[in-house]
Structure 1
Amino acid sequence: MSDKDTSDRSPTPNKGEPLRKFLVVVDGTPESEVALKFAARRALHTNGVVALFAILEPGDFQHWLGVESIMREEARQEAEAILHRLAAQVNDLTGRLPELIIREGKKAEQLKELIEEDHSIAILVLAAGTGKEGPGPLVQLVASAAENAFPIPVTVVPGSLTDEEIEVLA
């Protein structure tokens, strides 16, 4: 079986198998918190778990190693703080602590690599941006050409959903 084979992604795990994961890319935006709440409610209702994924994108200071190192460490600390704050929310909503993942690199590449590596990730949950900038780069990627498709279902929820609307939908 190749690393890219997704045939073992089961929507309902058998006894002894890992629970299916709802993957949420978190970046501190209000939209990512909507995606998190939706994923947490879906996980609760389907006996799944949530995985929170923060991606540290490379900086533009590679010729200033000292500055780049400091900026990278500050970005990691900020991502860890966001992940821990959101993990508490997921725990409150589901009664389970989520998996926390931090990687460095380009968002789309790191996201695809993680999905290919972890076959218990069953669904990617994204929330569309609500600003004039558009739905966001990952949502745009999902909506673009087939060669950018992820090997799992992707749920895109409106970033403007209220907690009450999430409860009804999830």
Structure 2
Amino acid sequence: MRKFLVLLDDSHECLNAMRFAAMRASNSDGVVLVLAVIPAAEIQHGFGVADVMRAEAQERIEAHYEVYAKWMRTRPKVEPELIIREGDPGEELIKLLNEDPEIGILAVGLNSADKSAQNPILTRLMRENNLPCPITIVPSDLSKERLEAIT
């Protein structure tokens, strides 16, 4: 089974990466894994506050994920799987890639409108020497029609 991995975050470019992964999975009988990472800096430790903050972060992630998941289930007819981790997003992404040998493609969104914008995840991935799968960079300004034609 081919798995397509996408990182869920609050960026605009995440949308096209999700679309790309879902359409490719649909056309190849694959699965979409959606990784969301709660940055450790967002969780303050002490007196139960960390547990409350973690639960709130998970609720936000699940609500955000459901928007994409609903579209994936109805349009390209793919059932995505949500994975939530805590830590550094780049490190957790690389860990997951190394843990699951069935991941065939990592789809990463690129903000093509702002040429000066840096994508810290993509920068981190480019420094890795031994990635276990290819990276597909999906420009944020590709239309739905163009994505459908590509996938």
1:66 deviates by 4.4
1:82 deviates by 1.1
Q: Deviations over 1:41-66 (max 9, x none)?
A: 11122221111111111126645544
SS at match of 2:40: coil
- Residue 164 of structure 1 corresponds to which residue in structure 2? 145
Structure of larger gyration radius: 1
Unaligned runs of 5+ in 2: none
In 2, distance between residues paired with 1:36 and 1:111? Answer: 15
1:101 deviates by 0.7
Q: 1:83 to 1:60 in 2, by over 3 A?
A: closer
Unaligned runs of 5+ in 1: 1-18
Whether the aligned pair in 1 keeps the contact of 2:7 and 2:14 (CA below 8 Å) is yes
1:131 paired to 2:149 = no
Identity %: 36
In 1, distance between residues paired with 2:43 and 2:26? Answer: 42
Q: Deviations over 1:86-110 (max 9, x none)?
A: 1111112321311111111111111
Q: Deviations over 1:3-55 (max 9, x none)?
A: xxxxxxxxxxxxxxxx2110010113221111000111111222211111111
- Residue 131 of structure 2 corresponds to which residue in structure 1? 150
1:100 paired to 2:82 = yes
TM-score by length of 2: 0.87
> Which of the residues 89, 98, 105 maps onto 1:116?
98
TM-score by length of 1: 0.78
